[in-house]
Structure 1
Amino acid sequence: MRRIKRRHRHRPTNNNRPPKQEDDDEEEEEHDQKPYILQLPVHIITEIFCKIPTKTLIQCKRVSKSWRCWFSDPQFTRELFSRTPASLWVTGHFLVDLDRIGSQSNVALQLFSNLRALCMTVVGSCNGFLCHYDFNSDFTRHLHISNPVTCEFFSLPIPSNRDSGDCYGFGFSPISDVYKLVRVSSLGGEPDQVMVLTVGFGIWRNIGHPGYSFYRVNPRHGIYLNGVLHWIGRSCRDRSRRLICVFDVESERFQELPLPLSSQNLRRTYFKLGILKGWLSVIHKVNDVISVWVMKDYGVKESWTKENEFKKPVGSFVTSTMKFTEQGKVLGLHHNQLMAYTLATTSLVRVQVDGLPSWISEAWELVPSFVSLKDIAGGLQHEGTICQS
């Protein structure tokens, strides 16, 4: 098959100009009234900010108009995003420093709480943005894109047909510079249908059949990497054979990638896709043994490499595995609590983070971004803006 090698590229920052001003008052602000750090050359300020923890930067943005001005400049925020480490986003809009998981000084930062009452499920994550699906008690459905760091969200149109058993994917095309939401409708014996929404245009397009079966796929959200969405699917010709279904966000075409091991025995084998150290990864479980594989040369079957192998600690823990740390720990959810499994001692312990709720329904690895939703949706009107609480 054709190899897909694309990377999310941002426009380079122009280090010879200051960030845009938000209003006339800020343009007239005297140079000597700005904080000393903001009087430094732009490239030096960027270097400094890239070394500051994300939670501290979020708090800095609230200090004054000068600080908000810096964090509203599109080119600066894109440069910052490209050099920001991943954090853990937890239901209720809490942000946790992944590199300090387990540290007594690690404190969760609550971003905004106005959405906590909504029963939202994340169906995709891309470039610091989250795509939420919300099914209310009055049986109305909603789709939202949010940036939990800038406290913005807007609504997307809902497809007209029913969505029982749907798979979603949220991705970015670095060629066209657009974001797209993909929905694959799977209704058992009926052929699957693929619909695509380009963010900012407001119209769902039916692009036909994927050529693969997504029936009873788990998990149902696509994994985004370098302009491509990935799901575990099945061959239409041989439903017992599972594979990686690949959707190119730019061309809107499906291809396939092989799994690292045979998947003929569906009852005893479990696969979960993810991203590990920038590589496409697969967690493979058969009986009581869990193996973690990474594809080091994208698209090449022979490049699948086993990174870890361990005994299953608890029944459901593997299905919610989120992160493998440098300290030899596996992070995941078990009974709606954040837990860590230590490979060396094969022990499972609860991870304590000050400020984090005791009950967690969902958690995602997320690279925080200060890029505004206005920069990705063009002239799309926001349904509402959520302010920081």
Structure 2
Amino acid sequence: MTDYIPFEIQSHIIKMLPIISIVQCRSVSKSWKFFIDSSEFITDYNVLHTQPQRILIGYVDSDEEKHISLVDDDDTFPWQKHSLSVPATIKKLYEPRLVGCSQGLFCFFSYMEKPSDFETKTAVLWNPAIRKSIDIVVPNVLDWPYQTFVGFGVCPRTNDPKLVKISNNRNPLEIDYSIPCIPWQVEVFTLSSGIWRSPLINVPRKAIVLSQSLEVIDGFIYWLAYKRIRNIDLTWCNLIMSFDVTSEEFNEVYLPNSLTYDRSIDLYSSTLKESLVVLEFDNGREVYGVWMMEHGVSKSFTKLYNINTPNAWIGNVIGFRNSGEPIVQMIYGFEERGALVVYDPHSENVNYIGICGKGFTFFGSSYVETPLLLNQ
């Protein structure tokens, strides 16, 4: 029957289909498969097809790792829950860490369970919408007293997934000041080429040290970082480093003074409505302050509100709903059980979403479904 329908009309219909139907359509004919696997189709699909935001939540319960996807809409949240089966390679990783989510792809990173080479780790790119994953070997991983970070993002211009590997000094709070700083060692991997290369980029000063927290927003990867300041005594200040996935350039993003120099607080990062959020945790009061960066402008941060739950212990903030409400892990009892709640910043009430597990094991990330990796 498709012989009687112009291919232009067929292609327009295909672009309107949901992801699961797109996967099935690849088996209809060679022309459909070629069309769906093209980079032009993936770009048009992401632009034309409005997908509801989803939230991936991972946690441990009864010594079993679990992953759940929630549809983030106002009518059914949090009742549309779907259990996800992660790829076998992620299950084989030793304590896998989510290092980024970009355009519907997730990147997990760690050693294999029984590594034969402790200088090699593995990154796994996973598209839960089409149940497909790709493994990438990450060589030359430095260990104590240095460290290696891996960031992940999809280039918004080419739809090409990229990894950036950065080796430098360890967190300044964990090392002796006598350990010398080493220059940044940077390599970039693009999935289309399948090789690691050292790009011609403005490598940051060796006095800047990354921390573990990172976010991927609108083609930029953000890390919380420290910078050595030499005066009478050697000290540190907080800042953010960004990496442009398209131009492959680094830049420093400066924080407000109250977040830059206060050593009594801990900083974490998240995303809210495609904007970078910095979470300021006050250890003394056990309160999280929520700061949002305005329009990607350095030092243009606005404090939105405090997360304050005097009747329960906040484990961490794992993310934000599209409505702006934070999803918070609360800790209860001596067994350190965790339960996820949505915090209302106006009423300061919490609403349970029916997900419980071992405390301090929860993580989350917002995403939309995408056909990326179909043609890989």
Change (3 A) 1:309 1:253: same
Amino acid in the other structure paired with 1:364 = S
Change (3 A) 1:43 1:345: same
Match of 1:372 in 2: 373
Match of 1:338 in 2: 340
Task: Please give the secondary structure, in 1, of the residue aligned with 2:250.
Answer: strand
1:182 equivalent among 136, 143, 164: 164
Matched, 1:108 2:82: yes
Change (3 A) 1:202 1:116: closer
Matched, 1:228 2:204: no
CA contact (8 A) 2:71 2:78 kept: no
Task: Please give the secondary structure, in 1, of the residue aligned with 2:198.
Answer: strand
Q: How much has 1:311 moved relative to structure 2?
A: 2.2
Match of 2:248 in 1: 252
Q: Over aligned residue pairs, what C-alpha RMSD do you find?
A: 3.8
Q: Which protein has greater RCO, CA pairs closer than 8 Å, 6+ apart?
A: 1
Q: How much has 1:33 moved relative to structure 2?
A: 11
Gaps of 5+ in 2: 59-65, 171-178, 331-336
Change (3 A) 1:308 1:42: farther
CA contact (8 A) 2:288 2:306 kept: yes
1:53-72 pair list within 5 angstroms: 57-58=19-20, 61=23, 65-66=27-28
Change (3 A) 1:347 1:33: farther
Change (3 A) 1:73 1:331: same
Match of 1:307 in 2: 304
Q: How much has 1:88 moved relative to structure 2?
A: 1.3
TM-score norm. by structure 2 comes to 0.71
Match of 1:90 in 2: 57
Q: How much has 1:65 moved relative to structure 2?
A: 4.0
Match of 1:24 in 2: none
The structure in which a higher percent of residues are strand is 2
CA contact (8 A) 1:93 1:116 kept: no
Task: Tell me, in whole angstroms, the C-alpha distance in 1 between the residues paired with 2:12 and 2:262.
Answer: 54
Q: How much has 1:58 moved relative to structure 2?
A: 3.0
Q: How much has 1:100 moved relative to structure 2?
A: 5.3
Change (3 A) 1:316 1:240: farther
Change (3 A) 1:135 1:259: same
Task: Tell me, in whole angstroms, the C-alpha distance in 2 between the residues paired with 1:129 and 1:153.
Answer: 9
Amino acid in the other structure paired with 1:198 = F
Q: How much has 1:97 moved relative to structure 2?
A: 0.8
CA contact (8 A) 1:94 1:110 kept: yes
Task: Tell me, in whole angstroms, the C-alpha distance in 2 between the residues paired with 1:310 and 1:216.
Answer: 26
Amino acid in the other structure paired with 2:354 = Q
Matched, 1:243 2:239: yes
Amino acid in the other structure paired with 2:52 = P
Task: Tell me, in whole angstroms, the C-alpha distance in 2 between the residues paired with 1:330 and 1:161.
Answer: 34
1:262 equivalent among 258, 263, 266: 258
Matched, 1:279 2:272: no
1:136-147 pair list within 5 angstroms: 136-140=112-116, 141-147=121-127
Gaps of 5+ in 1: 1-29, 376-389
1:152 equivalent among 132, 143, 150: 132
Task: Tell me, in whole angstroms, the C-alpha distance in 2 between the residues paired with 1:177 and 1:71.
Answer: 14
Change (3 A) 1:102 1:192: farther
2:187 equivalent among 190, 196, 201: 196
Match of 1:294 in 2: 292
Q: How much has 1:87 moved relative to structure 2?
A: 1.0
Match of 2:111 in 1: 135
CA contact (8 A) 2:280 2:288 kept: yes
Task: Tell me, in whole angstroms, the C-alpha distance in 2 between the residues paired with 1:345 and 1:247.
Answer: 37
CA contact (8 A) 1:235 1:241 kept: yes
Task: Tell me, in whole angstroms, the C-alpha distance in 2 between the residues paired with 1:268 and 1:336.
Answer: 25
Task: Tell me, in whole angstroms, the C-alpha distance in 2 between the residues paired with 1:295 and 1:368.
Answer: 26
